[in-house]
Amino acid sequence: MTTHFYTATSLDGFIATTEHSLEWLFAQDFDMEGPMAYPAFVDGIGALVMGASTYEWLLRSGEPWGYTQPTWVLTHRELHIPKGADIRLTQAGIVQVHEEMTAAAGGKDLWIAGGGGVAAEFAAAGLLDEVWIQYAPVMLGAGQPLFTGRLDLELVDSARNRDFLCGRYRVRRASTGEAPATRLLDES
């Protein structure tokens, strides 16, 4: 069972604009059947987790809820849950959330859908294994960060998917095997 952070980013490391727009991303050309594409990735996922901003963006999109897998939403607020969707709003600790997701995932992998701060929270707890990044050919100059902290990675696969450069990375563990190779910015 592997915990992945899979996301698209601008070349300068932002996953959304400051106003949480993804218009720059959906304007790009990406082959959903191509290398490292999203549909094949999601087939291997048994549970996912996201932060409140990502969840609110999905709700604002007006599309029906798109995931059959159980989904944890990290939030301090009571947010709307679409009818029939398997969504758990939580402010439990990351270790507990990861345990609950693992138990619900039926042996499949876990997906941290974003944002970068949530991925960093899992990494800081030593619970992030892989990072998949689709680099869109655009600079945003500012926006919501890809990651909030340091994380040392090993490139294990790469591909071109139309206009995107795709990288798959394994998280390097600290050599002691104890501390994760990351530190949240607000702890420094």
Ligand X SMILES: NC(=O)c1ccc[n+]([C@@H]2O[C@H](COP(=O)([O-])OP(=O)(O)OC[C@H]3O[C@@H](n4cnc5c(N)ncnc54)[C@H](OP(=O)(O)O)[C@@H]3O)[C@@H](O)[C@H]2O)c1
Residues that bind ligand X (CB under 6 A): 7-9, 15-16, 20, 22, 25, 50-54, 57, 74-77, 91, 113-118, 121, 144
Q: How far is CA 15 from CA 3, 46, 147, in A?
A: 19, 23, 9
Closer by beta carbon to ligand X, 76 or else 83: 76
Shortest Å distance, C-beta 126 to ligand X: 15
Nearer to ligand X by C-beta: 105 or 164? 164
Nearest residue to 109 via CA among 184, 47, 57, 27 = 47
- Name which of 16 and 171 has its Cβ closer to ligand X: 16
Q: Which residue is nearest to ligand X (CB)?
A: 51
Q: How far is the CB of 157 from ligand X (least distance, A)?
A: 18
User: Alpha-carbon distance 168 to 148, whole Å?
Assistant: 19
Pairwise CA distance, residues 83 & 62, whole Å? 13
Chain centre to alpha carbon of residue 153: 16
Query: In the bound complex, what is the minimum distance in angstroms from residue 93's beta carbon to ligand X?
Result: 8
| C-alpha to C-alpha distance for 119 and 186, rounded to whole angstroms | 14
- Of 39 and 177, nearer to ligand X (C-beta) is 39
Residue 158 CB, shortest distance to ligand X, in Å, is 18
